[in-house]
Structure 1
């Protein structure tokens, strides 16, 4: 617009050109507004500068925000209309009250908004009992000795406070100015990168390590520069070197492979802030005590230690005296759910061939819809799944050695009923919730009694009836005794005609007496009641 045109506009309207332009824009949109909006009053008030700002490009932006029929953020133009008295002034609509969850929340435990947002997106509603107690104590810097059963939320109980500390550290570092790089500094050959993690999580198995790594990535997805790396056996060494070169903040590892990298100086634990031993009782049972002590020797004296175990017995207590400093002890007692809707039975078997034949027979039960067969090893899962497929069953294996894509396809096939029998290990099958699973078979008894409860919980979902069958070799009597003690009830014994065990099943309690010396499995200590002979005499039973 030329100056002459601006002067002409002033003469014809008596208004400055920007105000005149605003009036035209308002007029063009007036059809969309209620009739009480007076354009002349708006123009007059704008000219008197009651807007508190010049009329120009900023005013045009404000015009685009007007919506006379809905609530919007207050602006000078909004105040303008209210000052003219041309729109009714109403109180702001009351914000509907949000129902607060009963009990502690993740916010009240001291977690930042970024982490709470990630938890909400992942479907976490409220902290579990172990999280309610462990998170504040860990944030306060205490060493922890935690007894918590599997499935109680213990991974989040140690990972969330660790990630919260990372979040606080990042905020502190963001406020500090970085020193400029010296252009005259000598440029030599770049040294071989060494990983210096701040958090180390030690697990007994690679499956558990993968679960912990996934959880860390989920909880910290809104934080910048928070890298998590898993160091596991069975993964190419060169691939792990590339991951370690990223210098991850979080390192999740199994003991053997971690020591391998420590000895090769690829990992340096001198800057470690927190050390977590997950399922410490299992690591001790697997003979990792010396490896744990070697790893602890490589950590600084000032680090914080969190030890998690399903149970706290004498072995754990003796180890905590060397690893923990004035720990806070947290014990979460498992509440056993009633399994009255699940029929639980035991079938005794003489050997592996007997077990295989009996399993084939039981899988042909007409009341069976879908089933999970639990094995102790990944190799057995593959072997049994292949054997069942050869016998005509729609079967598939599920275990930690399978790529994630293959696992997803197997679960999808199970949901779509294209797989009738799933042969799985404990960790791989944890969390499966498929209504069609009517039967669970323990091909091998679990080493830990609490895993038995998790296994049979895959059937009888949502109040449906289910069947849990354990195929027990006499060498597994100790495991059976632990399970019955854990569930506080003896498991009834069943016998299928034509598949009877050659050895009579024990009567009464287990392990209450000594058996005759034998020259097979079991030695002289018997599993039978009173003076009954124990498993171990070759004439009585065959080795599995």
Structure 2
């Protein structure tokens, strides 16, 4: 009896210690749960049944009931887990009932970091709300005509999907009325923070009603996200359906060490000639590299297109349409394409340049292996990529085994190429401080020694290229020097 009372007291102490504003929900898949059990409107059920949705994913199972109940929500879900439907189905369910406040302004606002993701959300919303009467979806994105957007905003709007920068422009010009807004959705919140949109997001939220329902979806829920949520959400429920270490069981990951640009190009050409490759995305570090590489591949006879932030919205939409229709076999892209592209026929993802952040690696390779299919992810790495590789392996919890193509073996030998942890440690050198070093030797304790000039990194532009303008210099790859790489603009 004494031990029972002690256990009860400990449990009570633990529960009291949890902050009152946050409730933790651990998602799990229940085989007997269907969309009909989630209290969605019959018109929505009809539409998703036509799309072939038979059973909700874990994020949908847990998020939809909480959102229909009216709670604010923080949710962590990796790409490809069905999170768009997780917030858009309950949003459409809300629209099935008449608005409490009259007007033409939006009842639902969805903020996304990139144009591609915004268009994907808009397209999915149109499909989900196919049988709901008079649901008007409008996209406000950078690169689109202001005249067209002004015309759309002057009409009745139910759901507004926007990138933060362009939406701020319209708000400052007084073209949007948020008086009847009921729900604010922050999609890919971690990406918006990485791209510097935090002030824009908070500014936009300040123009919306305080009684709104707020949803935050992110690949990770870290301390930075928690701070934003504390300012924008009210007593949110918290759902976490995926850990930061994505399993990626259906994606075969390969690694090829490279010596120089010529070696890298020869490896790429070999991979692209693979008959099993149906469609591929090749990721580069900069916009300039994407254009140059696409031109080189086109000259070699490949059906290829480029996608990056400097392209107009019309060009980007045309390129993505060709990719989805199968008229492009290869897409060369920057990280602007790492999220928001869902094409089932992409069999290969090739990291021509490794990403700056380990999280972006997961989003890049997540473009293949969609909807349960298998995929192949290939990464090129030089001797200076060892730190990036370690970060990626630590983040995914998986070791990427180096591969060799006969006849294209690298001259570079990675220092930590063995599987055992002991061999991965750098060799320890014992130095005697009382040793006299000759003038021709370099003391390990003399940090002012003159080093031989380092060879320029291989790539399409070198650090000493003075012909480049400032805009291009800000976007150069940091793979072979210490130049800082800035995030792709989302709008």
The equivalent of 1:488 in structure 2 is 397
Match of 1:220 among 111, 114, 129: 129
1:372 to 271, 274, 280: 280
Question: Distance in 1 between the 2:69 and 2:35 partners?
Answer: 16
Query: What are the superposed Cα offsets for residues 137-158 of structure 1, whole Å, 9 maximum, x if unpaired?
Result: 1111111010111111111111
Contact kept, 8 Å, 2:184 with 2:215, in 1: the verdict is yes
Q: Which residue of 2 aligns with 1:283?
A: 192
Closer/same/farther in 2, CA of residues 286 and 337 from structure 1, 3 Å limit: closer
Give, in angstroms, the shift of residue 382 of structure 1: 4.7
Distance in 2 of aligned mates of 1:113 and 1:456 = 33
SS of 1:213's partner is helix
Is the contact between residue 130 and residue 157 of structure 1 (CA under 8 Å) also seen in structure 2? yes
Structure of higher CA gyration radius = 1
Q: Distance in 1 between matches of 2:452 and 2:195?
A: 28
The CA distance in 1 between the partners of 2:71 and 2:340, in whole Å, is 33
Q: CA RMSD of the aligned region, Å?
A: 3.7
What SS does the aligned partner of 1:471 have? strand
8 Å Cα contact 1:197/1:251 also seen in 2 = yes
Deviations 1:493-515 (A, max 9, x none): 345688677865342789999xx
Determine whether 1:263 maps to 2:172: yes
Would you say the 8 A contact 2:352–2:380 is kept in 1?
Answer: yes
SS in structure 2 opposite 1:276? strand
Matching residue of 1:231: 140
Shift of 1:273: 1.0
Q: In the alignment, which of 301, 306, 309 is matched to residue 218 of structure 2?
A: 309
Query: How far has the Cα of 1:364 moved from its partner?
Result: 4.3
Distance 1:337 1:489, change over 3 A: closer
Q: Of 213, 234, 239, which residue of structure 2 is paired with 1:330?
A: 239
State the partner residue of 1:63: none
TM-score normalized with structure 2 length: 0.69
Asked if 1 retains the 8 angstrom alpha-carbon contact of 2:110 and 2:161, the reply is yes
Q: 1: distance between equivalents of 2:78 and 2:340?
A: 17
Q: Distance in 1 between matches of 2:33 and 2:370?
A: 30
- Separation in structure 1 between the aligned mates of residue 454 and residue 332 of structure 2, nearest angstrom: 32
| 1:110-259 correspondence runs (5 A) | 110-169=39-98, 196-259=105-168
Contact 2:255/2:381 (CA < 8 Å) preserved in 1? Answer: no
How far apart are the structure 2 equivalents of 1:124 and 1:112?
Answer: 15
In structure 2, the partner of 1:52 is none
Alpha-carbon distance in 2 for matches of 1:345, 1:130: 32
Q: Is residue 398–residue 429 contact of structure 1 (8 Å, CA) maintained in 2?
A: no
Paired residue secondary structure (2:132): coil
8 Å contact kept, 1:398–1:423 = yes
Q: 2:32 aligns with which of 103, 108, 113?
A: 103
Distance in 2, matches of 1:319 and 1:511, equals: 39
Once residues 476 and 163 of structure 1 are traced to their aligned partners in structure 2, the CA distance between those partners, rounded to angstroms, is 46
State the distance in 1 between where 2:256 and 2:247 align.
20
Give the C-alpha shift of residue 406 in structure 1: 5.6
Is the 1:374–1:426 contact (alpha carbons within 8 Å) kept by the matching residues of 2? no
Q: Residues 281 and 349 of structure 2 are in contact (CA less than 8 Å); yes or no, is this contact kept in structure 1?
A: yes
Residue 359 of structure 1: which of 264, 268, 277 is its match?
A: 268
Distance 1:122 1:413, change over 3 A: closer
Of residues 363, 369, 376 in structure 2, which corresponds to 1:451? 363
- Does residue 1:441 correspond to 2:361, yes or no? no
Partner of 1:37: none
Instruction: Look up the SS of the partner of 1:489 in the other structure.
Output: coil
2:294 aligned with 1:385: yes
Query: In the alignment, which residue of structure 1 is the partner of 2:14?
Result: none
CA 1:160/1:373 → structure 2, altered by over 3 Å: closer, same or farther?
closer
In structure 2, relative to structure 1, the CA distance for the partners of 1:373 and 1:130 (3 Å cut) is: closer
* 1:272 counterpart = 2:187: no
Alignment of 1:525-544 (within 5 A): 539-542=454-457, 543=462, 544=477
Give the Cα–Cα distance (whole angstroms) in 1 for the partners of residues 407 and 74 of structure 2: 51
Match of 1:524 in 2: none
Whole-angstrom distance in 2 between the partners of 1:480 and 1:287 = 25
Contact 2:349 2:365 in 1 (8 A): no
Which residue does the alignment assign to 2:252?
342
Partner of 1:426: 338
Aligned to 2:438: none
User: How many residues are treated as equivalent by the alignment?
Assistant: 391
Query: How far off is 1:470 after superposition?
Result: 0.7
Distance 1:140 1:477, change over 3 A: farther
Cα offsets for 1:271-309 (capped at 9, x unmatched) = 321111001001111111111111121112111110000
